[in-house]
Structure 1
Amino acid sequence: MIFLLYLAVGAFVGTLSGLFGIGGGVIIVPTLLLIFKEQGFSSDITMFMALGTSLATIVVTASSSTLRHYNMGNLLSEVTKKLIPPLIVGICAGAYLVNQVEARTLEGLFITYLYLVSLKMLFYKVKVDEPKEISNFLYAITGFIIGLKSSILGIGGGTISVPFLTWRGYEMKNAVAISASIGIPIALISSVFYIYSGFNKVTPDHSLGYIYLPAFFGISIASFFFTKLGAKISSVANQVLMKKIFAIMLILIAIKKTTSFIS
């Protein structure tokens, strides 16, 4: 029964990845926190398990979404290549910081992040123009911030990269494709850190470090197939309306998490 729930989560986040270029961590992490707590996971490791498992699933989700957008001609690989080096530095810095803070602190940071992303998606207006030149310095700063934030919060980089690229004049379809492509190194490198960090910890059966394998396989299998649906919708949907709907959903999740956090 739990595995079916993981499949449903995967179908949902796969669609979101193809539609918005996000890895789905903003949905996966709070959902896994609720499921893991119901399964009786220790509160000391629940947040780390949710983050590690989320990042592992994003490897599959982001790869599938990138492939779909590449086949549709949306991916601008030259932009991806400029973002990846500083992004890797940010990932490593974030992975180090994660091991220095308590799980409750990470949960509080994640809830705050949900509110910020929701408000940004509600009020940010996409302005499509001719692509503007992006300096190497701006690439470096943006890539580092994306990597740092993603590694700490267990999510892909779409909530920063998509607004950044559309602000610089790239079309939404290109911004989504680029965002999905940088999600691959984010998730892959971060997952390795979470596996390593959790090896000497007491974790549930069927875990690989801080990655819970039943959740990983269930979410990954469904998301792989549903990214195609999201990519197709992305080509025809009203992006402004879809983002507002998604933002409202995130606010509801954040409120739910806030209630459980302070109780």
Structure 2
Amino acid sequence: MIEFFSYIALGAGTGILAGLLGIGGGIVIVPALIFLFSMQGMAPDYVQHLALGTSMASILFTSLSSLRSHHAHGAVDWAIVKRITPGILIGTLLGAWLASKLSSEILKMIFIGFVYFVAAQMLFNIKPKPSRALPQSSGMLMSGGVIGVFSSFVGIGGGTLLVPFMTNCNVPLRRVIGTSAAIGFPIALAGSIGFIASGFGNAALPRLSIGFIYLPALLGIALVSMMTAPIGARLAHALPVSRLKKMFALLLIAVGTKMLLSLL
């Protein structure tokens, strides 16, 4: 029961972050689940894989709730969603398969490097070139594919890559956040399918898991995150997002540093 309440608390924070910053919350869910799964004595070789798969599955629910709220505010650019989704689906499925072939240590190193990269982007608020625009169809397909692969590697809904990508293409910030929340759904769907397939039938995984998705954690996170995501979406339209992003960047640095120390 203690573990389940931990999943509920994690879901509450994840939902708010998803709605507020347009991210699926995986960048917080993954390190938290690694810690919780390790405390529960799950197989060390598959703790990272379980955290990634469970994170992807939970983002299905978080992103759905978040995108509905942003759509109500008219902040989702469905033309961008339509153009980038094919590449997202291909890349995410490929990434989930590749992630299943890598060791937990390698996946942790990829995740740590990604966390520091995202923190730097948010902390220094790198400005895009005024003339830059979204790429054409082939460019959107390739961009979606790259974002999908890395989303699977680090168990995120893609927002931490999509937000700087669209911002660098001069899409307005609040529309970026809403559109990113919408794109998180196809990423999470493809990633969940990939992690179920790649872990299916593995005898070393815990009971109540489907492939690399641990159902008790998914249930606790999903139930609460769907309720708190609309709160975050409302806050995104009322609070200074740039200041909040800097605070979140400092949190990411702390999380990345803790994970790095655990590897040394």
Give yes or no for TM over 0.5: yes
Deviating more after overlay: 181-190 vs 52-61: 181-190
Alignment of 1:240 with 2:242, yes or no, is: yes
Fraction of identical pairs, as percent: 37
Equivalence for 1:205: 207
Deviation of 1:181 (Å): 1.0
Deviation of 1:120 (Å): 1.1
Instruction: Please state whether the residue corresponding to 1:99 is helix, strand or coil.
Output: helix
What code does the residue aligned with 2:86 have? P
Equivalence for 1:18: 19
Deviation of 1:127 (Å): 6.2
Q: Partners of 1:66 and 1:131 in 2: how far apart?
A: 26
Equivalence for 1:34: 35
RMSD: 1.7
Deviation of 1:131 (Å): 8.9
Q: Partners of 1:102 and 1:169 in 2: how far apart?
A: 38
Instruction: Please state whether the residue corresponding to 1:236 is helix, strand or coil.
Output: coil
Q: Partners of 2:132 and 2:81 in 1: how far apart?
A: 15
Equivalence for 2:146: 145
Q: Partners of 2:126 and 2:163 in 1: how far apart?
A: 12
What code does the residue aligned with 2:59 have? I
Q: Partners of 1:175 and 1:83 in 2: how far apart?
A: 13
Deviating more after overlay: 158-167 vs 217-226: 158-167
What code does the residue aligned with 2:256 have? A
Q: In structure 1, which of residues 203, 226, 233 is the aligned counterpart of residue 228 of structure 2?
A: 226
Alpha-carbon displacement from aligned partner over 1:44-80 (angstroms, at most 9, x marks no partner): 1111110110000000001110111111111111110
Instruction: Please state whether the residue corresponding to 1:170 is helix, strand or coil.
Output: coil
Note the residue ranges of structure 1 that are not aligned, 5 or more in a row: none
Deviating more after overlay: 187-196 vs 162-171: 162-171
Alpha-carbon displacement from aligned partner over 1:125-173 (angstroms, at most 9, x marks no partner): 4569799453223312221111111112111111121112122222111
Equivalence for 1:178: 179
Deviation of 1:96 (Å): 2.6
Change (3 A) 1:133 1:2: closer
Equivalence for 1:3: 4
Change (3 A) 1:43 1:225: same
Change (3 A) 1:127 1:239: farther
- Aligned pair count reads 262
Tell me, yes or no, if the aligned pair for 2:81 and 2:182 is still in contact at 8 Å: yes
What code does the residue aligned with 1:211 have? I
Instruction: Please state whether the residue corresponding to 2:27 is helix, strand or coil.
Output: helix
Alpha-carbon displacement from aligned partner over 1:232-260 (angstroms, at most 9, x marks no partner): 11001111110000000000011111111
Q: Partners of 2:102 and 2:251 in 1: how far apart?
A: 28
Q: Partners of 1:238 and 1:127 in 2: how far apart?
A: 19
What code does the residue aligned with 1:159 have? T
Tell me, yes or no, if the aligned pair for 1:130 and 1:170 is still in contact at 8 Å: no
Q: In structure 1, which of residues 214, 217, 220 is the aligned counterpart of residue 219 of structure 2?
A: 217
Q: Partners of 1:133 and 1:206 in 2: how far apart?
A: 43
Q: Partners of 2:248 and 2:148 in 1: how far apart?
A: 23
TM-score by length of 1: 0.95
Instruction: Please state whether the residue corresponding to 2:147 is helix, strand or coil.
Output: helix
Deviation of 1:197 (Å): 1.7
Q: Partners of 2:239 and 2:128 in 1: how far apart?
A: 16
Tell me, yes or no, if the aligned pair for 1:90 and 1:144 is still in contact at 8 Å: yes
Q: Partners of 1:93 and 1:189 in 2: how far apart?
A: 9
Equivalence for 1:100: 101
Note the residue ranges of structure 2 that are not aligned, 5 or more in a row: none
Alignment of 1:187 with 2:159, yes or no, is: no
Instruction: Please state whether the residue corresponding to 1:44 is helix, strand or coil.
Output: helix
Structure 1 residues 63-102: aligned runs within 5 Å: 63-102=64-103
TM-score by length of 2: 0.95
Alpha-carbon displacement from aligned partner over 1:6-39 (angstroms, at most 9, x marks no partner): 1111010100000111000110000000000000
